[in-house]
Structure 1
Amino acid sequence: MKDESLAGRVFGEVYRVQGRADLHEFLVHSVEASGGRVLYVSDPGRAPVYLGVQLDSDERMGMLVYPFRVTRNTIRNRPNDEVRGQLRYGSEDSWEREHPVGRDVAGVDVTMIIGLDLADGVLLGLDANLWDPLPMGISFYAKDAEIKHAEDSGWHVWEKVNRGGTRRSDARSPTNLETVVAFTPDRLIDYARLERRATSLRLDPPLRFAAATAMADHSPRDEPERRHVLEEQFALSSEQILDIIGGRNRLSVAVRGGVAEFHLERQLTGAPGIASVERLDVDAMHDFDVTLDDGTLLRVECKNASPKTSINGSFKVEVQKTRASKGDAASRFYAVNGFDVVAACLFSPTGRWEFRFGRTADMARHKHFPDRLAPVQTITEAWGDSLPALRA
C-alpha cells in the first residue's frame, strides 16, 4: 500500500478501517481521563491513530497509537479465563508481507501498540520494540486475573512467556519473556511516557519490566520529565550515556553489577523473614548487611551468574575479584570468612531478575588456597531462593 500522510506527516503504512469508531472514542476519552487535552486526532477511519496532546503544563506530546480490539469471545482450544486481541489491519492476503511500525525519526512522537478492552475499561500495552513489524493475524492474550488487577490498581505489570510458533520459528524476545502493562484510562499519559523512555533507551524486556514497575504509582501529570542529575553533570543525554556504557565492556559489567544490586535490595526490603537491609558502598567490603527477623546478621555479596550453564545444566557463578594485588596471588580470591552469603543474580542465564542464595561456609575452596573460595561456584540444590530459607 502506498504511504499516506497522517496529520500532515508520514508514519509508514496507514490502513483504512471500519467499525472502530468506539476504539477511537475510547482513546480520546483516555487522553482526557489521564489529564491531557486533545489538540488533534486523526480520522477514525484510519489506523494508526495520531493524537496531539496538551498537558496541564506547556508540555505537548504526539501519540501514534495502533489500537486493537480486545474481546472475551470463546476460542476453540483456549482457556475460558482470558481475553483476546488480534492484530488485524488490511486484507488477509496482505498479512504475509511485513508491516513495519511507524516511527518518528526525530523521536518527538511516541509509538504505542495497545489492546483496548472496552468492556472492562482496561488498556493492554504491548512492547512496541518487540512487536515491530506487526505480525498481522496473530492473537495476544491476557488472563482475567491480570485484567482484574489492572481494574483494581489502575496499573499492573507482568512478564509473559514468548515462544516461537507456526508463523515464526524464533521467539519475539531473546529472553523468551515479554513485559505487558495493563492500565486504566487515567494512566494513558503515564504509559506513553514509559513507552517513550523504553523506545529511546532501547530497554530489553527485563529492564522494561523494572521501569514499568517503578511507575506503579502516579507520576505528576503537570510536570514535564526532568533530566537526570547525571545527564546534567555529564552534559549528555541518557541515550548517549548508555551508548558509552554499551561500547565499553568494563563499564557494562560494572553497570550490570549495580543493576543486580538494585534488584536485590528491592526484593529483600520488606520481604518475609527480613527485618532490615543496609546497602554498603565501601571498597573491599561486601554489598549488604541483612538482619533477619530472629536477629541473625548476614553479610551478603551480590554476584551475576554466568550466562552459560554447566554440562549438567546447573547455574554457576564467578566468585573472585577483578585482579590480584601485586605479589599476592591469593588476594584475587575471596576469603571464606569475608562474607556469609553469595546472592547470585540469574538474569544472564534466564532473563529474569531472580536470585539464589548460598552460604560461603558450604562452598568449594580454592585448590591452592584453602582459606579462599574457588573462583567458580556451582549453584546447587543447597542454595535457597530466599535468605530466610538458608536457616532451614
Structure 2
Amino acid sequence: MEDELLAGRAFGEVYRVQGRADMHDFLLRAVEASGGRVLYASGPERAPIYLGVQLDSDERIGMLIYPFRVTRNTIKNRPDDEVRGQLRYGSEDSWTRDHPIGRDIAGVDVAMILGIDLADGVILGLDANLWDPLPMGISFYAKEAEIDQAKRTGWHVWEKINRGGNKRTEARSPTNLETVVAFTPVRLVDYARLERRATALRLDPPLRFAAATAMADPVLPDEPQHRHVLEKQFALTSEQILDIIGGRNRLSVAVRGGVAEYHLEQQLTGAPGIASVQRLDVDAMHDFDVTLDDGTFLRVECKNASPKVSAGGAFKVEVQKTRASKGDPASRFYAADGFDVVAACLFSPTGRWEFRFGRTADMARHKDFSDRLAPIQTITDGWTDSLQAISR
C-alpha cells in the first residue's frame, strides 16, 4: 500500500500503473471538449488521476478520476453484445483488502469512477457511493445498445440490476439497482457536477437516476448556480436540510409521501387518456382530482407501499391515517367513499417510482367499521399499472 501526494495533497492510496497514457490523454481532451481548461494534471503513471479544471465562468473543479479501460474482449458465458471493464489496480494479492477511494471532506474535489471506451469515445460513470471501496478484480458491463445510445445523444442514463456474486454475497445496492450514466467527452464537466451533487447529498440509486435524467440537456457554462428558496429561508444548505430529514423518522416518512405524490403527478400529467390532473393540498382531502379523456372523474389518494411483501410475495399498502380523533376510534380509518382510487407507490419494495392503482369499491372493509377501509390492503392482480386502465 502506498500513499503519495497528488497536486500536493494526500488522497489516500495512489497506484503505480502502466500503459494508460492513452486514457490520460483522452481525459485531458475531454476536459477541453466540455468547456474546461486544465490547470493541473497528475501524470499518467499514477492512478487516480487528479485534474484541476477551470471553466469560462471562473468555476473551478478538482476531479479525482479512477479510470478503467472498457474493452470488447470475448468473455466465456457472457453475451456477445456487451462491453466490459475490470477494476484492476495493484497486485492481485492486494485485492482481498479494502481499497477506499479518495474523498475531499470539504466537498471541493469530486471523486469519479469512470470506464473509458476509447473505441467509441464514450465514458461510463459508475456510482461512486456504491463502488467505494473499489472491489478490485470485479468487472462491470454495459450493452452495446447503451453505448450506441450515448454516442447518439451524448448523455444516456439507465438502471441495471445489481446482485451478489461469488466475491460479494450481497447486492451492492439495497434496492438491487444501480444507476449508470454513459456520456461523450463534451459532457465530462456536467458529469463531474452530477457526481459532486450525488456525493454531497448521498443520493440513493433512484434519486441519482432522477438527478442524472434531469441533466440530459447540457448545463450552460455561465449558468448561475442559484440557491433554493428553502436554503435561503432556513439559512441552511441543501445537505444540512437533507441531514435533518434523514435524522428524523416522522419527517422522513412525510417527505417520502410528498416525493411519491410528486412522481405520481409527473406520471399522470400529459399521459395518454388523461385530460387533467389537479393536486390538492387540503387537510382531510384526497391528493388528486383526475379527469380522464372520456369524462370520468376520479378522486385519487397516493400512498407508499410497504417495504415488506406478504408471505405469498404480494405487495401491501397501508391505508389509514396517522391518528384518530379523540373519542372516535373509527376516524383513523378512511371512509370507503372518501376517494375512488388508491395509487400505491412501489418505491419502498422495488426501488422504482412505479404505481399500482386500485378501486376503493373493491377493497377490503374494516372488520369493526363496515363503512371504513381495512388499514392494510393487498395489492392484488385486480390493481392496474395505469390509472386509465382502471376505468375500463
TM-score range, shorter chain: over 0.9
Q: CA deviation at 1:223?
A: 2.8
Provide closer, same or farther for how the CA distance between residues 224 and 64 of structure 1 changes in structure 2, counting only shifts above 3 A: farther
1:81 and 1:143 in contact (8 A); partners too: yes
CA deviations on 1:269-319 (whole Å, 9 max, x unpaired) are: 232322332222222221122222222222111100111112222111111
The runs of 5 or more residues in structure 2 that have no matched partner are none
**For the residues of structure 1 that align with 2:117 and 2:133, how far apart are their CA atoms?**
23
Match of 1:166 in 2: 166
Does the alignment pair 1:133 with 2:133? Answer: yes
User: Secondary structure of the equivalent of 2:96?
Assistant: coil
Match of 2:271 in 1: 271
Match of 1:59 in 2: 59
Match of 2:14 in 1: 14
Match of 2:189 in 1: 189
User: Secondary structure of the equivalent of 2:243?
Assistant: helix
Match of 1:98 in 2: 98
Number of residue pairs matched by the alignment:
392
Q: CA deviation at 1:249?
A: 1.5
1:59 and 1:224 in contact (8 A); partners too: no
**For the residues of structure 2 that align with 1:301 and 1:208, how far apart are their CA atoms?**
27
Amino acid at match of 2:53: V
TM-score by length of 1: 0.97
**For the residues of structure 2 that align with 1:367 and 1:184, how far apart are their CA atoms?**
59
User: Secondary structure of the equivalent of 1:12?
Assistant: strand
**For the residues of structure 2 that align with 1:378 and 1:320, how far apart are their CA atoms?**
14
Match of 1:26 in 2: 26
Does the alignment pair 1:4 with 2:4? Answer: yes
**For the residues of structure 2 that align with 1:186 and 1:25, how far apart are their CA atoms?**
15
User: Secondary structure of the equivalent of 1:308?
Assistant: coil
1:255-266 aligned at under 5 Å gives the runs 255-266=255-266
User: Secondary structure of the equivalent of 1:95?
Assistant: helix
Match of 2:320 in 1: 320
Q: CA deviation at 1:338?
A: 1.5
Match of 1:295 in 2: 295
1:213-292 aligned at under 5 Å gives the runs 213-292=213-292
CA deviations on 1:195-230 (whole Å, 9 max, x unpaired) are: 111111111111111111121222222235322111
User: Secondary structure of the equivalent of 1:338?
Assistant: coil
Moved over 6 A (4+): none
Match of 2:47 in 1: 47
**For the residues of structure 1 that align with 2:81 and 2:275, how far apart are their CA atoms?**
38
**For the residues of structure 1 that align with 2:282 and 2:236, how far apart are their CA atoms?**
28
**For the residues of structure 2 that align with 1:89 and 1:276, how far apart are their CA atoms?**
55
Amino acid at match of 1:236: L
Deviates more, 1:269-278 or 1:171-180: 269-278
Q: CA deviation at 1:35?
A: 1.3
Q: CA deviation at 1:16?
A: 1.3
Does the alignment pair 1:116 with 2:128? Answer: no
**For the residues of structure 2 that align with 1:148 and 1:279, how far apart are their CA atoms?**
39
Q: CA deviation at 1:26?
A: 1.2
1:281 and 1:287 in contact (8 A); partners too: yes
**For the residues of structure 1 that align with 2:218 and 2:300, how far apart are their CA atoms?**
33
Provide closer, same or farther for how the CA distance between residues 224 and 95 of structure 1 changes in structure 2, counting only shifts above 3 A: farther
Amino acid at match of 2:334: Y
**For the residues of structure 2 that align with 1:323 and 1:388, how far apart are their CA atoms?**
32
User: Secondary structure of the equivalent of 1:67?
Assistant: strand
**For the residues of structure 2 that align with 1:110 and 1:369, how far apart are their CA atoms?**
56
The runs of 5 or more residues in structure 1 that have no matched partner are none
Match of 1:78 in 2: 78
**For the residues of structure 2 that align with 1:285 and 1:32, how far apart are their CA atoms?**
54
TM-score by length of 2: 0.97
1:103 and 1:111 in contact (8 A); partners too: yes
**For the residues of structure 2 that align with 1:270 and 1:118, how far apart are their CA atoms?**
40
**For the residues of structure 1 that align with 2:43 and 2:370, how far apart are their CA atoms?**
74
1:49 and 1:66 in contact (8 A); partners too: yes
User: Secondary structure of the equivalent of 1:11?
Assistant: strand
Amino acid at match of 1:184: T
Q: CA deviation at 1:108?
A: 0.9
User: Secondary structure of the equivalent of 1:277?
Assistant: strand
**For the residues of structure 2 that align with 1:33 and 1:168, how far apart are their CA atoms?**
38
**For the residues of structure 2 that align with 1:228 and 1:162, how far apart are their CA atoms?**
33
User: Secondary structure of the equivalent of 2:168?
Assistant: coil
Does the alignment pair 1:363 with 2:363? Answer: yes
**For the residues of structure 1 that align with 2:289 and 2:214, how far apart are their CA atoms?**
24
2:2 and 2:15 in contact (8 A); partners too: no
